[in-house]
Structure 1
Amino acid sequence: MRRATEIDIALNARPDGMPLQRWLYGELRAAILDGRLARGARLPATRDLAARHRVSRGTVLGVFAQLAAEGYLSGAVGRGSFVASELPDVRLESAPAPASEPASASARAGRRAASAGPSADGDTNAGIGLSARGRLLARSAFAVEGRTFPSRAFRPSQPDLQLFPFALWARVAARRSRQSNRSMLADGEAQGYAPLREAIAAHVRVTRGIACSADHVAIVGSVQQVLDLSARLWLDPGDTVWLEDPGYPGARLLFEAAGARIAAVPVDTNGIDVAAGRQLAPHARLAYVTAGRQAPLGPALSLERRLALLDWAHTHRALVIEDDYDSEYRFEGRPLAALKSLDNAGHVVYCGTFSKLLFPALRIAYAVLPERLVEPFVAALSLTSRHVPLDHRRRCTRSSPKGTRAGMCGACASCMASAPGRCAKRRAGIGRACSRCRPSSPVSMRPRSCPKAPTMRSPLASPPKRASRRGHYRRTR
């Protein structure tokens, strides 16, 4: 009976605590890579190798199968196992090794520079080159690392997380979890959770004067997503977009990435200058405005300008996107009616967000669309993001008996009702402090401009409050 020539492989001792299969795999792979097992060499039979190193044959078979799957071994049943003639590590020598530790900010910047295209000396292997649109998309206006808590004071567009009614929110979350059923595990609507859309429609009808139903509302992750889908649906490369100057940088970068030409329309005390926009780009396809409170200067778009903007949009069949990012932060009187409340021809897309009112991690925004734009917008949502998760959406909606209208949950309603008062008290405290510091130059605070609630408590701020069982704030002792 003929027997194959036995090959004696020297293996290092197994460290304490290391699994047998991982140890044997590492030793055989190292022997192949450093040449102790030459290319084409035949390995010992699995039974012999198992008996020699006192491991089970199943362990050896698992190691051989892993090495064969990775390209280090070849062979067939009845022939034995051989070292591959071409090792995968040799084929990958020219490729950059992946980082094993989290990259620093400088390292990420270096990778972004390398991926922008070929290097100066023409070396196309320096990185995977981005497309022209990809290079524009890589210029994000937002921090990709996230923000720490607590954040610094006076940061714009950030609510005070220390005053959020967390206990009430936790009770709402627990109640929604107990009410879950198997239907919640299926695919959701691309347009968004229907009870939340009903609650949003009711909210904007009362507070913004917008005549709409839940069928006109689409739930998204952010207003930025509304801008992105709008650019994809209604802009072609080379089309012109009106943007306020100065204005929101996130909108400018996104529309530039879509290939649009930017017409920077000046802003004065009455908001965006529509007459100047007509002179700059009369045939623009889209206009982005912050009519309720212009970002960053603060004036509201006057009624005359609103009517002029709607007349221009109707004449040139243009789309107007109204970003109502902070209408809840108003000190005197009710929030102003939205620009869309005057739109009878269906040219305005109204969008708002709860992430700036409740907490940023919520990621719930919405768009109120004209009737003829609902179907393409929802179809684009289904194509690009399928549907939004239901967890937070259900928490934000008050459970209602069947046949009654849905509403906002207690935590959301509490924040929406108390945010203006908290912000007004802090603003008044800052004004008094500034007046004491510079009595000869009293500070004049505009009655309707609100820089958002500071995210760091000061001695002048109102004392913190916590949520009661009925969803209202009460002072802590």
Structure 2
Amino acid sequence: MTPSLPARAPRPTRPQPLDAPLSRAASAPSLQRQLLKRLRDAVLGGTLPAGSTLPGTRALADALGISRNTVMAVYEQLLAEGFLQSDRRGTRVTELTRPVRTRQTSTPPPVARRVANLRPRAATPPAHEGGHFRPGVPALAQFPAGAWRRALDRAARRAGPAALGYGDPAGEPALRAAIARHLAVTRGVHCEPARIVVTEGAQDALALCVRLLTDPGDVAWVEDPGYRGAKTAMHAGDLEVLPVRVDAQGLCVEAAQARVPSPRIIYTTPSNQYPTGAVLSVARRLALVEAARRHRAWIIEDDYDSEFRHTGEPVGAMQGLVADAPVLYVGSFSKTMFPALRIGFVVLPDALMPAVADAVRELQRGAQRHAQLALADFIDGGEYARHLGRMRRLYRDRRRALLDALERCFAIEHQVEGGPCGLHLTLRLPARYPDRELVAAARAHGMAALALSTFAMRPASVDNGLVLGYGNTPEHLYEPLLRTLAKLARGVATR
């Protein structure tokens, strides 16, 4: 009887994901990318379990009708990424730890509690969408783009390849020197270039102040109503933000002095309070400096658009009012140049420099070096001053035209606030015209005015109104827009 032969072990079958042909369509990814994705998905999805032996590169290339080099490149990539391991026994799938799926798997981990404070209290038009009457937007069509391009070209040519590397963390020395000269002449700010830190816009400057001056849980006083970006920076730093009311003379220092607990920082816009347009009087400025010294607090002076004063001379900065004042002066070029430039700065007091110099070097990275060098050239060459002169005249005319149009066409009871400065006007409206509903209705008609009540942490009945920007809205549109706005106001009015 012929002895039976031992049964031959079955040949391992190639996993199904490897057998399907790859797409040859012109719009399809490359064959290598297709195979790489297929194998990754098969391993992660469990179709190729741990320990599975993959076919040799020549065999898989023949089966798929592709180059062996393509398969070899895919295997090498998956080996580098840790999906596969290779030894004398062949190429196998690595043992991977897969997350256990539970009912909670679809629920993401929690975010920081502070995020709730960073959400807007009411829907507002996103800044990037634009729209007529948007506050804070300059006349972008009037910017001398040609002169700016030439400044950028000169900066790139003069700096050479060196400017492609990291720069001074505090900003380009040429720009800091140009800012110091400009502030001394136009704003009465006394500083050496070494005390200036260039930032990525005013918001970054505020965030830097919070990081340098406060610890989580510290108290910040802010104007109410006031700039929402300042509150955002402070909430992001886990500060306790306490609103201080604003009246016709700016921040009510007398009321603030009685506040408990004491602040670590005090935020104010003294030259043109945002959004009401009030100017902080000299008496209140001195009282605020005294209060800061008594509480051992720092004052952040946000001088966001005082370059555009339409009558007389610009109101001087608080920073240079008293020697050794505990004031950090914040500014930017978003209003005077254009928002996308993203260059701001903070002037640090002498007394603060020894304590924070090392921290500034660690926190900052000296971004946008070519733009900084071009801006220094723009300032030193006189183009910046000429541009400011043209814009002052334009905004003065637009403000006057808006006031005239309001008187003729906005047939709704209102009170105009704000002095002859800046790029916006504030209208106080009776409570029967709810400002948030009015802003929502106006948005559908291409208007991006903001509701005054959204600037207040604790809105009062007097905080009902509109903030109308005139910087980037041509004069010929004022009358039709205001007529539409008045009609919308009557439509949302309550009995």
Q: TM-score range by the shorter chain?
A: 0.7 to 0.9
| Match of residue 456 from structure 1 | 473
- CA 1:228 to 1:33, structure 2 compared with 1: closer, same or farther past 3 Å? closer
SS of residue paired to 2:181: helix
Aligned 8 A contact 2:136 2:335 in 1:
yes
| Match of residue 287 from structure 2 | 308
The answer to whether structure 1 residue 212 and structure 2 residue 184 are counterparts is no
The answer to whether structure 1 residue 81 and structure 2 residue 87 are counterparts is no
Query: Post-superposition shift, 1:270?
Result: 1.6
> 1:126 pairs with 107, 119, 122, which one?
107
Q: Distance in 1 between matches of 2:34 and 2:414?
A: 76
> 1:12 pairs with 21, 24, 28, which one?
21
| Match of residue 427 from structure 2 | none
Query: Post-superposition shift, 1:188?
Result: 1.2
What is the identity, as a one-letter code, of the residue corresponding to 1:428? Answer: R
> 1:417 pairs with 389, 410, 422, which one?
389
| Match of residue 328 from structure 1 | 307
> 2:74 pairs with 52, 63, 69, which one?
63
Query: Post-superposition shift, 1:330?
Result: 0.9
Give the 5 Å matches for 1:146-161. 147-148=128-129, 151-161=130-140
The answer to whether structure 1 residue 430 and structure 2 residue 447 are counterparts is no
Q: Distance in 1 between matches of 2:413 and 2:61?
A: 89
Q: Distance in 1 between matches of 2:207 and 2:47?
A: 57
What is the identity, as a one-letter code, of the residue corresponding to 1:130? Answer: V
Give the 5 Å matches for 1:367-406. 367-398=346-377
Over residues 360-390 of structure 1, what are the superposed CA-to-partner deviations in whole Å (9 max), with x where a residue is unaligned?
Answer: 0011111111112134444333322322221
| Match of residue 21 from structure 1 | 32
Give the 5 Å matches for 1:354-365. 354-365=333-344
- CA 1:314 to 1:52, structure 2 compared with 1: closer, same or farther past 3 Å? closer
> 2:166 pairs with 160, 182, 187, which one?
187
Q: Distance in 2 between matches of 1:35 and 1:240?
A: 53
Task: Name structure 1 gaps, 5 residues minimum.
Answer: 96-121, 400-406, 462-477
Query: Post-superposition shift, 1:324?
Result: 0.6
Over residues 24-60 of structure 1, what are the superposed CA-to-partner deviations in whole Å (9 max), with x where a residue is unaligned?
Answer: 4466667778998776554433334445555443222
Aligned 8 A contact 2:51 2:93 in 1:
yes
Query: Post-superposition shift, 1:275?
Result: 1.2
Over residues 127-169 of structure 1, what are the superposed CA-to-partner deviations in whole Å (9 max), with x where a residue is unaligned?
Answer: 1222334554566999897614xx3222111101011111221
Aligned 8 A contact 2:293 2:326 in 1:
yes
What is the identity, as a one-letter code, of the residue corresponding to 1:128? Answer: P
SS of residue paired to 1:297: coil
Task: Name structure 2 gaps, 5 residues minimum.
Answer: 1-7, 425-468, 479-495
SS of residue paired to 1:288: strand
> 1:319 pairs with 281, 298, 318, which one?
298
Q: Distance in 2 between matches of 1:383 and 1:142?
A: 37
What is the identity, as a one-letter code, of the residue corresponding to 1:351? Answer: V
Q: Distance in 1 between matches of 2:144 and 2:312?
A: 25
Q: Distance in 1 between matches of 2:270 and 2:334?
A: 19
Query: Post-superposition shift, 1:266?
Result: 1.9
> 1:286 pairs with 255, 262, 265, which one?
265
Q: Distance in 2 between matches of 1:303 and 1:291?
A: 10
What is the identity, as a one-letter code, of the residue corresponding to 1:59? Answer: T
Aligned 8 A contact 2:170 2:364 in 1:
no
Q: Distance in 1 between matches of 2:180 and 2:349?
A: 13
Query: Post-superposition shift, 1:177?
Result: 2.3
The answer to whether structure 1 residue 269 and structure 2 residue 248 are counterparts is yes
TM-score normalized by structure 1? 0.76
Q: Distance in 1 between matches of 2:309 and 2:44?
A: 69
| Match of residue 222 from structure 2 | 243
Aligned 8 A contact 2:172 2:366 in 1:
no
Q: Distance in 2 between matches of 1:29 and 1:266?
A: 59
SS of residue paired to 1:241: strand
Over residues 331-353 of structure 1, what are the superposed CA-to-partner deviations in whole Å (9 max), with x where a residue is unaligned?
Answer: 11110111111121231111111
Task: State, as a whole percentage, how many aligned pairs show the same letter.
Answer: 34
SS of residue paired to 1:277: helix
Query: Post-superposition shift, 1:15?
Result: 2.2
- CA 1:410 to 1:243, structure 2 compared with 1: closer, same or farther past 3 Å? same
Q: Distance in 1 between matches of 2:199 and 2:44?
A: 51
The CA RMSD measured in Å over matched residues stands at 3.7
SS of residue paired to 2:198: strand
The answer to whether structure 1 residue 46 and structure 2 residue 57 are counterparts is yes
What is the identity, as a one-letter code, of the residue corresponding to 2:21? Answer: N
SS of residue paired to 1:398: helix
- CA 1:50 to 1:279, structure 2 compared with 1: closer, same or farther past 3 Å? closer
> 2:236 pairs with 257, 278, 285, which one?
257
Q: Distance in 1 between matches of 2:42 and 2:198?
A: 57
> Higher mean Cα deviation, 386-395 or 296-305?
386-395
Q: Distance in 2 between matches of 1:284 and 1:266?
A: 15
Q: Distance in 2 between matches of 1:41 and 1:435?
A: 81
SS of residue paired to 1:397: helix
Query: Post-superposition shift, 1:307?
Result: 1.2
Query: Post-superposition shift, 1:181?
Result: 2.2
Q: Distance in 2 between matches of 1:300 and 1:358?
A: 23
- CA 1:386 to 1:171, structure 2 compared with 1: closer, same or farther past 3 Å? closer
- CA 1:6 to 1:49, structure 2 compared with 1: closer, same or farther past 3 Å? farther
SS of residue paired to 1:423: helix
Q: Distance in 2 between matches of 1:293 and 1:33?
A: 59
Q: Distance in 1 between matches of 2:41 and 2:265?
A: 62
SS of residue paired to 2:148: helix
SS of residue paired to 1:180: helix
